[in-house]
Structure 1
Amino acid sequence: MREQRRNRVPRTRSTRSKYNIWCLPEEVQLLLFAGLPARDLLSVRAVHSKFRNLIDSNPSIWSTVHFHGEWPSPGNRTHFERAVEHNNIEAIIKLGVAYLYNEGISEDGKAANNSSQTSKYFCKAEALSPLPFTWLFIRPPWSASGTCCKAMVFNNMKNHCKTKASSSSTMYCIAKILSLFDDEAKQKEAMDWYQKASNHGSPHAALVTWKNAQSQNRLDPGCSLNSIRQLRECANNSCIDVKLTLFECYSKGQFGGLTKPQIAESISQLVKSSRPMGTSDMFFQQQNLNASMRYILIDWLVEVTDMKDFDNLTLHTAVRCIDRYLLLQPTTRSNLQLLGISAMVICSRLLEKDIITIREAAWLTDGTYAYEEVVRMIGEIVAVLHGQIRVPTVLDFLKLFCNLAAVDRQTEFLAQFLAEMTLLYTEFGSNSPATIAASAVFLSRMLLQQDFPWPSHMVEFTGYKVVDIIPCTLLLFRKCFVEPSLTDHRDVTLMAIKQRYSESDFMEVSKMEVMKYTELCSMLGAQSVLDDNSTREDDEPCHMDFLSPNKERMDQSELSKDRDSMVVTPFVELSEAGHDNSVLASELGNVSFDSVGTGYEGDQESEGEMEVDEEEWSMDTHDGLDEPIDISSELSLNTFSAILAVDVLSCDSNSEDTSNSDLSSLAACFSPGTKRSRQGPSPGSRRSYRINAGGKLSPCKGSVLQPVQNVYSGRLRSHSKGHQHKNVTQRQRRSQFGCENRVNLEYLS
């Protein structure tokens, strides 16, 4: 034993370095502070007067600080306003939405004051954003009295453009709102505003005026040639809608004086600019989510889209918003469906004439989320994306490629089906939208056994050779025709897209028989090898309780029969097609639509304010501090880990006691408010649900996601017909739109 002790190698001890964050140059400190969350930035500012002076003297820090997960409140409003002074677009958007819906700013906000603040922030946001977007928040319908906050914001923005120098985006927003009215006088006024915005350099307004002129001079060849040249000038801007419209004209043979090689070069440049979506790396950022949860969410949104008769572009744009948000902001399981329905609200307001109202969005989740939560999530999504909602999607490139290839309707429907199936899988994130669209067109022509599935002119116009799209084509075939669809917690197969494209309107393309995978591989000269995870026929179904545990699938015929009754929302905000409020009032029973004197009858669709369990964070500064205080007691886990890593850079490299996991655990110990969370059952666990006293399935605590309403059937749940939902808050139970009054909505089913 003594001999073993003599031969033992002495353990090297790690010594704390004397170099830390205090010794770093100011330039390096600024790089550390830039882009910090607002909560952490103000905690660092409170540590020492040195940091306070450094942060206050550099406005660029406030222009880059982000407010992810934070919402304006009386405790932090001054810090939001400080970021607004330095053109922080995220703070501008959140403050504008908060004042518009009177959410979180004050308890007794008046419409006149809030509308003035909202218009100020919206005009500022339009001047900073490359894409006009604020009009979707204040678009009609408005209250009949005209005193709602939306109408007042519109009038303030309109007066601002008349009296002061405004951006072309603000003028476009005014024109867009006026164009949504059926009044002929307002339609004419809208065209005047479109012309003003076009003259000030708005490409979106120039596209609208171009389309209007094109419809009037359709039969004149000379005007047609000149119009293509005008559209080409507008396409020099980065507006994707203008470019797609121009290339659609090119695909129809309207070259506008250019040669075929020049046209091919222009289109190939757009294709090359398409970048991979990155969804395959999403779950490195999202530790609490997985691909199956996202699959179920998208499957649900497909049926919401079908139920509301939305365009495919609305669905594709909503999914892109969800993915881009998840790549930037960590999200909990309980908020995943809130993210999905809020993205649908935004995209329906942006792209559709009929919209999903905020109250309807909360109702579609069966009261799982309150009206105020939807408002905050809408503001959060738009703020995180900096107002850039409309981005190129797979469907945009698909329509372009179908026009270039001159495909028939069956081929186009089959390609749309394949493209929509890619929305379910994160594996396609390593490909660009243009690559996925090219693979869908190529595979569709192969499955229909058409000659020359990828003609030579497609290679010239797109820049894609067959060898370039073979990997994505094989993955597309496997996901759509080889691998089985995901199943929920009751072993019900999720087939919303396949059911949708099995209808006669889409020529039943999802029912067609296709070749075998080995036959496709032999035709393409590829090796027929399936991965171990390529098929799950013999595996256990994935038990996921995303939607309500009482969820029952309907066949497509029954869904179509109930869709007409579900399209109309039983709430105050209706589409322009509109229904008489008196009829709605009589059918809704005791529900009151009066909010006289508040000025918010067109905006606040639910009574009362949301009860927030979490305490509001107050970012008070300590100006009198001259000595350093314990940083670990103020910063969050991520920031403290970064500072701790800088602090131990000079430790002995041979030490076996220091590791990344040690740093993380040490930071977790010092991080305030850090609690050990119980790990719930895994997604594949058999214990993801239980049978309650009523004999119905309900999820276990800590299961994958909270139960929500099944909108597939288009009917209210049994617990909504006289029984309280367990997720309805106390304020919602007292609301006039509570579960008691939903008994009167049985006419919808």
Structure 2
Amino acid sequence: MIHEQYRFFGKELVNSSGEFQKENTDRNKPKHLTVLPRYLKLNLWQEEKENKMEVENNTQQLCSFDQQMIKDPQYTSLYNKEIYTYLLTQEEKYLVSNNYMNEQQQPDLNARMRAILLDWLIDVHLKFKLRDETLYVTTYLIDRFLNFKTTTRQQLQLVGVASLFIACKYEEIYPPDLKDFVYITDNAYTKQDVLEMEGQILQTLDFSITQPSSYCFLQRFGRIAGLDTKNLSLAQYLLELSIVDIKFMNYKPSFLSAAAIYLVHKIRKTPQSWSEEMQKMTGYNEQELRYCAKEMCLVLQSSDKSNLQAVRKKFAQPKYQEVSRIRVERQIKQQK
């Protein structure tokens, strides 16, 4: 006699005679609570109420921009204040004085050589179509390294290329190949030279690459100030002009960003150049920003006569709203 095998359909067994046998698969499973105890309901309700009150209190303390973007998780409106408070404390650790370019510390270099190097790197950065943050990381790596290590003028370009190589690895999704960095130096250095200098820079800086940049603060302060795309590009143009000039190294990145926005408002003749909200969110008042903004304005006015034209060429492109073509009056009225 042939016995048919059982066939499985879900939780039921069907035999050859068509009789159904229910498989009790839930017998050994633990039973879950279908009704929450009263004390647990009260605790959950109280916790939810406290969290809601805390969010409402935090929301009231936000600036107008953060309140508008409260529902967009990408702007992290509830945490921006803590984030930028932390960045303000971190920027103090990485400040480099412009006095490092002296005869004792760098006898073979001067500020003009640094400006030529950065002007060339800005041109390379533009041709490689790199991210904006990459340029700022490169600049900070160069200055911090030169602050610790005496370098000859023959090695200065190598320091710049190796710093750009590190910054690309750190910021770019698809960084250029090593051979591309050798090519842009017209084969003045080998691949091994770039790799050795890369290791030397990282060891000197103890692999500390992350540093709050003026570009980072510009993105935050520009939104709070309500700058449109063209005015934001103009502020970035001012920041990159200040990168080339060594005298701006005495200012903190957040201060440079605030001064650039203040100068943009002056150039555009905004009725209120520096609002109370901007003073509260940046920590700088109008009186503090005036001198730095005046120096930026002088650099901007003389940019067309400078031999270093990489920044001006970059911001003459439609991508940056051609802000370098804006004519600025020679004298901007100063408030007494």
Pair in the same fold by TM > 0.5? yes
2:334 to 495, 502, 523: 523
273 and 250 in structure 1: CA distance in 2 versus 1, 3 angstrom threshold: farther
1:326 to 127, 146, 158: 146
Give 1:406's aligned residue: 226
Gaps of 5+ in 1: 1-221, 233-245, 487-492, 526-749
Give 1:282's aligned residue: 100
In the TM superposition, residue 255 of structure 1 has moved relative to its aligned partner by 9.3
- 8 Å CA contact 2:221, 2:257 repeated in 1: yes
Give 2:5's aligned residue: none
- 8 Å CA contact 1:318, 1:347 repeated in 2: yes
- 8 Å CA contact 1:470, 1:524 repeated in 2: no
Identify, as 1 or 2, the structure richer in helix.
2
TM-score, scaled relative to structure 2: 0.74
435 and 355 in structure 1: CA distance in 2 versus 1, 3 angstrom threshold: same
Q: Distance in 2 between matches of 1:387 and 1:445?
A: 39
Q: Distance in 1 between matches of 2:117 and 2:267?
A: 29
Q: Distance in 2 between matches of 1:436 and 1:442?
A: 10
Give 1:501's aligned residue: 315
Give 2:70's aligned residue: 254
1:431 to 244, 251, 263: 251
Give 1:337's aligned residue: 157
In the TM superposition, residue 475 of structure 1 has moved relative to its aligned partner by 0.9
Q: Distance in 2 between matches of 1:298 and 1:333?
A: 14
Q: Distance in 1 between matches of 2:291 and 2:117?
A: 27
Q: Deviations over 1:415-440 (max 9, x none)?
A: 01001111101101111111100001
Q: Distance in 2 between matches of 1:272 and 1:342?
A: 28
Amino acid at match of 2:262: F
Note if 1:372 corresponds to 2:192: yes
Amino acid at match of 2:100: M
- 8 Å CA contact 2:303, 2:312 repeated in 1: no
- 8 Å CA contact 2:91, 2:211 repeated in 1: no
- 8 Å CA contact 1:268, 1:462 repeated in 2: no
1:468 to 270, 285, 288: 288
Residues 87-236 of structure 1: pairs in structure 2 closer than 5 A: none
Gaps of 5+ in 2: 1-47
In the TM superposition, residue 482 of structure 1 has moved relative to its aligned partner by 3.4
Q: Deviations over 1:70-95 (max 9, x none)?
A: xxxxxxxxxxxxxxxxxxxxxxxxxx
Give 1:33's aligned residue: none
Structure label with greater radius of gyration: 2
1:419 to 210, 221, 239: 239
- 8 Å CA contact 2:125, 2:135 repeated in 1: yes
Amino acid at match of 1:524: Q
Q: Distance in 1 between matches of 2:67 and 2:157?
A: 39
252 and 436 in structure 1: CA distance in 2 versus 1, 3 angstrom threshold: farther
Amino acid at match of 2:198: I
- 8 Å CA contact 1:342, 1:377 repeated in 2: yes
Query: How many residues are treated as equivalent by the alignment?
Result: 273
Q: Distance in 2 between matches of 1:503 and 1:288?
A: 36
Q: Distance in 1 between matches of 2:269 and 2:173?
A: 39
460 and 268 in structure 1: CA distance in 2 versus 1, 3 angstrom threshold: farther
Q: Distance in 1 between matches of 2:303 and 2:233?
A: 21
Q: Distance in 1 between matches of 2:297 and 2:125?
A: 24
Q: Distance in 2 between matches of 1:467 and 1:269?
A: 25
Q: Percent identity?
A: 25
In the TM superposition, residue 266 of structure 1 has moved relative to its aligned partner by 7.1
Q: Distance in 2 between matches of 1:480 and 1:405?
A: 21
- 8 Å CA contact 1:251, 1:400 repeated in 2: no
- 8 Å CA contact 1:265, 1:461 repeated in 2: no
Q: Distance in 2 between matches of 1:508 and 1:499?
A: 9
Q: Distance in 2 between matches of 1:378 and 1:345?
A: 8
Q: Deviations over 1:80-133 (max 9, x none)?
A: xxxxxxxxxxxxxxxxxxxxxxxxxxxxxxxxxxxxxxxxxxxxxxxxxxxxxx
Q: Deviations over 1:216-269 (max 9, x none)?
A: xxxxxx9xx99x98xx9xxxxxxxxxxxxx99x94754399xxx9x97687456
- 8 Å CA contact 2:169, 2:175 repeated in 1: yes
Note if 1:355 corresponds to 2:175: yes
Q: Distance in 1 between matches of 2:129 and 2:122?
A: 10
Higher relative contact order (CA 8 A, sep 6+): 1
